[in-house]
DNA sequence: CTTTACTTTGAAACCGGTTTCAAAGCGTTC
DNA sequence: GAACGCTTTGAAACCGGTTTCAAAGTAAAG
């Protein structure tokens, strides 16, 4: 069953005007006599006319679409950011489309090309393969990168303060009395991972403690393996800085099997602040990334870019907080939030 | 920084041929002499030319894009389906874009319009608002609906066998010795919810047991409230059929607070079969929906539709299985899978 | 050597909108 | 009542590809 859609010429004919006039009525791009405008509006309603966005954007070179490319559609943290992007976008008359690159550079390239070719107004992309640089160089759209160092041709980089996050979690764990905190070290190929590691190491050194860590990927598949390995290598561990919130589910499983109690024997601090952390039992103490802000800011940058064409590249580093819940034994007299500078850091650098 | 993209005319000029010839080389749509083809390919490489998909699809009326509209980007079950759609699509040279309607009919309508306007090749949409019927009627694209009754103008409906799922979970719980199983009843406005309820009720009646239930939305926000209410109203409960896997996290929390042990005091059977169920502690016994098949089939239907234009509407009901893990006390001599017909039910009905 | 058949090719039309441009319509002013 | 300025309007060009169509070129057949 093919339904044929009304075109602008159909509307024009019905209203007894030219297509140009119909276009002017739709877009309000020029004055049209009240008389004719009324006839046009009626004709639009009668025909059920919806302008063909393809034709429109072929001329306008803007489709009011923001593309969001993620390595996995199953990453809850990234999806929560996506929701914020979507909300900000929609409030400004934009739409967000989410593309799953599946950690596959070919798909990533294909989606960048698709978004370019469909005249999207910008791309928000998360930490990705480095061999994508050529694709990005050839892409004329504004590109906002999440969670990556500001190298290559990007319009802006939006991140939370991973260094502060690493420090915050470590300091709190020590303050709660952990003597041997161990870090599930995030992948060092990402600057976010390096920064967090740095924060951890520095705090350890400031307290004269030996930094201990085990390398951990972000994917939840590896959570179980890493958790087991951690406990084997550091059986005396009494505090764990998880690579992210999701991994903590696996950690719980291993700890329970070994009969270790949380937070009595081992304290845990997660990372990200996804909603799931609050649903776990015990509820997860974690470093809150400003998920909402990251998403909204990224979308806003692209929307502003469309209007302004401001050419200078910027790097935004948003502050993090610690959300204290049940996986830590709080020191006396503490509230449920801890630290965080509250300041957004903004580095400008010309292109 | 604006990078201007090469156009087909630039390539043509460089290769000393007409744009038509370049187009023919790119698409293989007609024979071109080896000599010229070679020159064209070189010119394409030299200019870095990428055809503008907008212009292309304006003429072709196909963008090789499949739209997937979900009520929430945070629904893990739907995202796992999305991943399968994406994989199937990509293998056939299609791309999937995910649109988050946020349970907002306006957004839903906006995205349907967007996908129509961008010449997407089809839409896959999940259980949604009924007042969308007009939008769907006006949409000329193939539409596959997940998890909804076959009413309205749809190309196909793809579902898993919710009736069988309801029966399966209930039967297994009884077989494991539950005397008072309680159902977290899914929303009855969806046919999937009604079918599951029906399956539950029938099995109860067959065993001379009183059906007990409490209405539960799918959203994880309501999980805690529903779980508490369930235990208040049915304190003697010894088996719970959860509304979905995600909700079980909240259930665990409440049960642990009350000191009830799983599966010793209360057994739980989840629903959906998301990966998260295996990460929980204890690992969740659950009804496995054929997530991969649902996604791939939906995508395949649209891809075939593009090629064939087969007009008849179909309803696919895919079989479910029970995955036995740790939240049930298995009856003697049982394996880790239970029941399931293994047959896909296919209802054809002309339009 | 002419006729016929087939292949290769570029000019032009097309997809469905938006915008430019110039003409027509109308009111003011001198 | 002629000249001027302003507004409204439609014809045509445009966006960047794809495809049709007819012409030109080539090979085979008579």
pLDDT digits (tens, 9 = 90+) for B110-119: 888 888 888 8
| A60, part of any domain | no
How high is the pLDDT of residue B135?
Answer: 73
- A232-CA/C22-C1' distance, Å: 84
How high is the pLDDT of residue A46?
Answer: 93
How high is the pLDDT of residue B129?
Answer: 61
- Distance separating the N- and C-terminal Cα atoms of chain A: 52
Shared-domain flag, residues B202 and B329 = yes
Cα gap B54→A114, rounded to integer Å = 9
Shared-domain flag, residues B223 and B139 = no
Shared-domain flag, residues A71 and A151 = yes
| B2, part of any domain | no
pLDDT along chain A (351 residues), means of 10: 73 93 93 92 91 90 90 95 94 89 86 85 81 72 81 82 97 96 94 95 97 93 94 97 97 95 96 97 97 96 79 84 96 65 61 35
Shared-domain flag, residues A131 and A210 = no
Name the residue closest to C7, CA to C1': B31
Domain ranges, residue A105:
65-160+292-318
A278 touches strand D (CB under 7 A): no
Cα gap B55→A227, rounded to integer Å = 52
Instruction: Work out the average pLDDT over B249-253.
Output: 96
- A52-CA/D24-C1' distance, Å: 39
| B42, part of any domain | yes
Distance from CA of A188 to the nearest CA of B (A): 26
- Residue A36: CATH number of its domain: 1.10.260.40
Residues ≥6 apart with Cβ < 8 Å to A180: A209, A212, A234, A236, A237, A238, A239
How high is the pLDDT of residue B302?
Answer: 93
**Within chain A, how many helices (H) and strands (E) appear?**
13, 14
| Contact indicator for A96, A86 with CB cutoff of 8 Å | yes
| B56, part of any domain | no
* Better pLDDT: B150 or A287: A287
User: How many angstroms separate the Cα of A154 from the Cα of each of A121, A264, A302, B3, B166?
Assistant: 14, 46, 11, 13, 51
How high is the pLDDT of residue A152?
Answer: 66
> Which B residues, 169 through 198, put their C-beta within 8 Å of a C-beta on chain A?
none
* Better pLDDT: B314 or B338: B314
- Residue B111: CATH number of its domain: 3.40.50.2300
| Contact indicator for A266, A240 with CB cutoff of 8 Å | yes
B2 touching chain A per CB within 8 A: yes
Shared-domain flag, residues B284 and B296 = no
Q: Is the pLDDT of residue B274 over 60?
A: yes
User: How many angstroms separate the Cα of B174 from the Cα of each of A30, B169, B341?
Assistant: 71, 9, 19
| Contact indicator for B150, B157 with CB cutoff of 8 Å | yes
- Number of domains, chain A: 3
A278 touches strand C (CB under 7 A): no
Shared-domain flag, residues B205 and B147 = no
| Contact indicator for A176, A331 with CB cutoff of 8 Å | yes
| Contact indicator for B121, B302 with CB cutoff of 8 Å | yes
**Cβ contacts (< 8 Å) between A76 and chain B: which residues?**
74, 76
Cα gap A195→B163, rounded to integer Å = 51
**Shortest CA distance to A118 belongs to which of A191, A58, A29, A75?**
A58
- Do A311 and B110 lie within an 8 Å CB cutoff? no
The token pair at A74 is 């199953």
Shared-domain flag, residues A122 and A190 = no
**Cβ contacts (< 8 Å) between A54 and chain B: which residues?**
54, 57-58, 63, 117-119
B138 touches strand C (CB under 7 A): no
For chain A residues 39-58, those near strand C by a CB cutoff of 7 A are 49, 51-52, 55-56, 58
Sign of CA dihedral B66, B71, B72, B76: negative
Q: Which nucleotides of D are covered by protein (CB under 7 A)?
A: 7-12, 14-20
Cα gap A268→A325, rounded to integer Å = 10
| Contact indicator for B184, B170 with CB cutoff of 8 Å | no
Instruction: Work out the average pLDDT over B288-308.
Output: 92
| B57, part of any domain | no
pLDDT band with cut points at 50, 70 and 90 for residue B341:
low
Instruction: Work out the average pLDDT over B125-137.
Output: 71
Preceding omega of A263 cis (within 30 degrees of 0): yes
DSSP alpha helices (H): ranges in chain B? Answer: 8-15, 19-27, 34-47, 53-60, 76-91, 105-117, 133-137, 162-175, 191-206, 223-233, 247-257, 276-279, 291-308
Residues ≥6 apart with Cβ < 8 Å to B251: B223, B227, B240, B242, B268
The token pair at A169 is 């979690």
Mean pLDDT computed over every residue of chain B: 89
Q: Is A349 helix (H, G, I), strand (E, B) or coil?
A: strand
The token pair at B264 is 């010793």
**Residues B214-250: pLDDT tens digits?**
999 998 889 999 999 999 999 999 999 999 999 999 9
Shared-domain flag, residues B181 and B242 = yes
| B145, part of any domain | yes
Shared-domain flag, residues B154 and B210 = no
| Contact indicator for B293, B82 with CB cutoff of 8 Å | no
Shared-domain flag, residues B133 and B208 = no
Shared-domain flag, residues B198 and B270 = yes
How high is the pLDDT of residue A102?
Answer: 86
Q: Is the pLDDT of residue B78 over 60?
A: yes
How high is the pLDDT of residue A187?
Answer: 92
| B316, part of any domain | no
Environment class of B306 (CB within 10 Å of its CB; exposed 0-12, middle 13-18, buried 19+)? middle
Shared-domain flag, residues A282 and A251 = yes
Cα gap B276→B283, rounded to integer Å = 9
In terms of C-beta distances under 8 Å and separation of at least 24 residues, what long-range contacts does A124-127 make, across chains too?
A124/A66, A124/A67, A124/A68, A124/A69, A124/A85, A124/A298, A124/A299, A124/A302, A125/A68, A125/A69, A126/A69, A126/A70, A126/A71, A126/A78, A127/A71, A127/A190, A127/A192
Of the partner residues B4, B53, B72, the one whose CB lies closest to the CB of residue A117: B53
A62 touches strand C (CB under 7 A): no
Crossing angle of the two packed helices B76-91 and B291-308, in degrees rounded to 10: 40
Q: Is B215 helix (H, G, I), strand (E, B) or coil?
A: strand
Residue-level length of chain B: 351
User: How many angstroms separate the Cα of A314 from the Cα of each of A98, A126, A247, A252, B192?
Assistant: 24, 16, 32, 40, 48
Of the partner residues A5, A76, A281, the one whose CB lies closest to the CB of residue B252: A281
| A56, part of any domain | no
> Which B residues, 209 through 268, put their C-beta within 8 Å of a C-beta on chain A?
220, 223-224, 249-250, 252-253, 256
């Amino acid at each position: 069953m093919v339904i044929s859609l009304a075109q602008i010429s159909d509307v024009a004919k019905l209203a007894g005007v030219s297509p140009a006039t119909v276009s002017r009525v739709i877009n309000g791009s020029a004055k049209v006599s009240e008389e004719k405008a009324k006839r046009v509006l009626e004709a639009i309603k009668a025909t059920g006319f919806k302008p063909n966005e393809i034709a429109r954007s072929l001329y306008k070179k803007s489709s009011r679409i923001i593309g969001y490319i993620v390595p996995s559609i199953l990453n809850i943290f990234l999806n929560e950011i996506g929701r914020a992007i979507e909300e900000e976008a929609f409030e400004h008359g934009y739409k967000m489309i989410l593309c799953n690159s599946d950690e596959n550079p070919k798909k990533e390239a294909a989606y960048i090309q698709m978004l370019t070719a469909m005249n999207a107004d910008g791309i928000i992309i998360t930490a990705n393969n480095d061999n994508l640089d050529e694709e990005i160089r050839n892409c004329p759209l504004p590109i906002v990168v999440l969670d990556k160092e500001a190298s290559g041709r990007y319009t802006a980089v939006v991140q939370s303060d991973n260094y502060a996050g690493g420090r915050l979690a470590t300091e709190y764990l020590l303050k709660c009395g952990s003597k041997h905190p161990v870090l599930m070290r995030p992948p060092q190929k990402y600057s976010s991972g390096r920064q967090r590691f740095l924060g951890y190491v520095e705090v350890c050194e400031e307290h004269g403690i030996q930094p201990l860590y085990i390398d951990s990927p972000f994917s939840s598949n590896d959570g179980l393996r890493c958790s087991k390995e951690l406990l084997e290598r550091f059986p005396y561990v009494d505090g764990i800085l998880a690579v992210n919130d999701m991994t903590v589910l696996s950690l719980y499983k291993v700890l329970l099997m070994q009969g270790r109690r949380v937070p009595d024997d081992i304290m845990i601090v997660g990372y990200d602040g996804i909603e799931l952390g609050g649903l776990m039992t015990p509820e997860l103490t974690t470093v809150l990334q400003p998920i909402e802000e990251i998403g909204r800011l990224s979308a806003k940058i692209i929307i502003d870019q469309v209007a302004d064409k401001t050419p200078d590249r910027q790097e935004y580093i948003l502050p993090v907080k610690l959300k204290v819940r049940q996986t830590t034994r709080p020191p006396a007299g503490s509230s449920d939030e801890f630290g965080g500078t509250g300041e957004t850091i903004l580095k400008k650098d010309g292109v």
